Each structure stands twice: as C-alpha cells, then as structure tokens.
C-alpha cells in the first residue's frame, strides 16, 4: 500500500488532516471509508423505541417477553435493517400517544386512515384486519341490519382506537351509545356482564381474547361487517424520525415480503376460518 505525504494529500484533498512533521497514516480511501461509516452510524445511532399493545395474535406480552405475529415480523425487519431498538407493550392509547409525540418511535399494528395519514411516516403493511360488530348469541332481542340500527344499542369502544373513531364519525356519541375503556378485553367482560350490547372486534384476534376471558366464539354472533375499517394494519414511524431509518426499515420489510418470510409467519398465527353472518339477522331495531 502506498502512503502519501501531507503535501501530496493536500494537493488531492484540501480537507484531509495531516501532521506537519511526518507521513500520514491514512490513505484518501481510508478517510473516505471512515467518513462514510461515521455518517451512517451517526444517522442510525439513536435507538428506535418500538411500541405496541396487547393485541393477539398480532402482539402480546407474556412473562416479560413480547411475542406475536406482527412482533416477529417487525423484529426481523429491524434486525435486517441494522437498527438498534427497544420494545415496550403499552395500552393502545399510551402507545399511540407516544408514537405521535416522541421522535424515533415506531408503532405497530396500526390502521391507516385519512385522519392519521399525516401524523406518521408509514413504513409497510404488517397484517390483515377485519372488523365485525358482535352481540351475544343469546341476545335474540338485538336485531341489526345497518349502523343506523346499531345506534339504538350500547357499543363498547377503546380510547384512541380506529373503531371508536369510525363509529363516532358515523353518529355514535361517546358516553351515550358508545362507552370507552382503556383495553378491548374489558369490553368482552362488559358484554358478558350485560353492561353493553355490542362490540366491534377484529375477527382474527377475537377467538384468542375470548379464550383468555374464559369464553369461546360460539357464544357470540356477528351481526354486521364494518368494511370501511377492515383493511391491512401497518408499521409506522413518528414524523420526526430520520428518513434514513424509515427507508432502511421499508427496504427490510420489502425484502422479507418478497422472500416469503412474512407470509410464513402469518400462516403460523392466523386462523383463516370465518364465522358466516346468519341469513336471518333481524329486521327491526327496538323503538326509541
């Protein structure tokens, strides 16, 4: 390897450091590689703070360890992207608030809506999401064919959740015919206790949440599909996160998808059986 003197380096690179009384020990190529590495590491040096919620099969926390379908996908992508991270499982409202307001925060699994579009840097889809309105199978008095019918009943919702935001936009009133809680499983308990009449729930997570509460899917009956909010869930960064981190994770998610790894993880978790809506769902809501 040929080394250059200070004067030779200065002729080729006016910004190169040198000592007055000797040969420099770095070649111009070494300096270039060092600076490239320095700026790359600097861009990614900050830890990505990942937040999610207890939302089986997508994410959950058991014995201090995070798991779930989306958790596996996101962690594999972060490692493939070379991003250091920590991961915390919060209530949804806390996770959402953190992701909106704190730099370098990544949130999953989050529904992408017009209201949220400019609040985040959207990375990639991570999981399917299908919302249906459910009642107790034993409640023959509840008869629904439309959301207008559903407004005659009490619905359970969750703070900062896409489902409650949609229902309020459709004419439901918080504190009147939609009652909000911090965690969705509380609505399952309230439904079986007779304190609410209906719950909007993701069909992929509902069987797991029911089992957790000591119930099974046969005890509920779907009465209405909420197609307008049934779409894929996403991974998203806080708006102030450096673009280098965002793009690195996008690229990693893309590589996982085209390799088939995301599909393999999803197939291990998702039960693709669905519960059909009965053809004779009632035709008339109760009078006001």
Boundaries of every domain in the chain: 6-44, 48-128+231-269, 131-229
Structure-token pair, residue 247: 């793009």
Tell me the pLDDT tens digit for each residue of 67-95.
Answer: 999 999 999 999 999 999 999 999 999 99
Q: Which CATH number fits domain 48-128+231-269: 3.40.190.10, 3.90.1150.170, 2.40.30.30, 3.20.20.20?
A: 3.40.190.10
CA 98 to chain centre: 13
**CATH-assigned architecture of domain 131-229:** 3-Layer(aba) Sandwich (3.40)
Residue 15 pLDDT > 90:
no
Which pLDDT belongs to residue 71? Answer: 98
Which pLDDT belongs to residue 240? Answer: 96
Distance CA 33, CA 41 (A): 12
User: What count of other Cβ atoms lies within 10 Å of the Cβ of residue 240?
Assistant: 11
Could you tell me which residues come within 8 angstroms of residue 185 by beta carbon, excluding any fewer than 6 positions away?
A: 54, 209, 212, 213
Which pLDDT belongs to residue 62? Answer: 83
The mean per-residue pLDDT over the stretch 160-183 comes to 94
Strand partners, 136: 220
Q: Kindly indicate the confidence band of residue 112, based on its pLDDT and cuts at 50, 70 and 90.
A: very high
Residue 113 pLDDT > 60:
yes
Structure-token pair, residue 53: 């919620």
Closest CA to 269 of 214, 215, 202: 202
Q: Which of 16-20, 56-60, 105-109, 132-136 has the lowest mean pLDDT?
A: 16-20
Same fold, 48-128+231-269 and 131-229: yes
Which pLDDT belongs to residue 33? Answer: 53
- Cβ pair 108, 198 in contact under 8 A: no
User: What count of other Cβ atoms lies within 10 Å of the Cβ of residue 243?
Assistant: 10
Which pLDDT belongs to residue 270? Answer: 82
Which pLDDT belongs to residue 217? Answer: 96
Question: What percent of the chain has a predicted confidence (pLDDT) above 90?
Answer: 69
Q: What is each CA distance from 141 to 133, 153, 177, in whole angstroms?
A: 15, 11, 17
């Amino acid at each position: 390897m040929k080394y250059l003197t200070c004067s030779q380096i200065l002729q080729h690179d006016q910004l190169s450091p040198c000592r007055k009384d000797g040969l420099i020990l770095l070649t111009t190529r070494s300096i270039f590689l060092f600076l490239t590495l320095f700026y790359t590491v600097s861009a990614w040096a900050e830890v990505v703070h990942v937040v999610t919620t207890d939302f089986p099969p997508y994410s959950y926390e058991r014995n201090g360890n995070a798991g779930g379908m989306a958790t596996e996908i996101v962690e594999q992508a972060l490692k493939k992207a070379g991003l250091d991270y920590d991961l915390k499982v919060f209530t949804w409202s806390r996770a959402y608030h953190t992701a909106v307001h704190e730099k370098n925060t990544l949130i999953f699994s989050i529904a992408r809506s017009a209201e949220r579009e400019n609040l985040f840097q959207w990375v990639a889809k991570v999981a399917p999401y299908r919302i249906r309105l459910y009642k107790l199978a034993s409640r023959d008095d509840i008869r629904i064919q439309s959301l207008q019918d559903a407004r005659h009943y009490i619905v359970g919702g969750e703070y900062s959740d896409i489902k409650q935001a949609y229902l309020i936009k459709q004419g439901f009133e918080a504190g009147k015919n939609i009652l909000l809680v911090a965690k969705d499983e509380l609505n399952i308990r309230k439904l079986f206790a007779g304190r609410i009449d209906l719950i909007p729930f993701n069909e992929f997570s509902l069987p797991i949440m029911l089992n957790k509460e000591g119930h099974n899917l046969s005890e509920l009956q779907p009465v209405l599909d909420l197609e307008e909010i049934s779409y894929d869930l996403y991974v998203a960064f806080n708006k102030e996160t450096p673009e280098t981190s965002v793009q690195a994770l996008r690229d990693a998610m893309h590589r996982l998808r085209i390799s088939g790894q995301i599909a393999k993880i999803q197939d291990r978790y998702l039960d693709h059986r669905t519960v059909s809506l009965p053809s004779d769902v009632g035709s008339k809501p109760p009078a006001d």
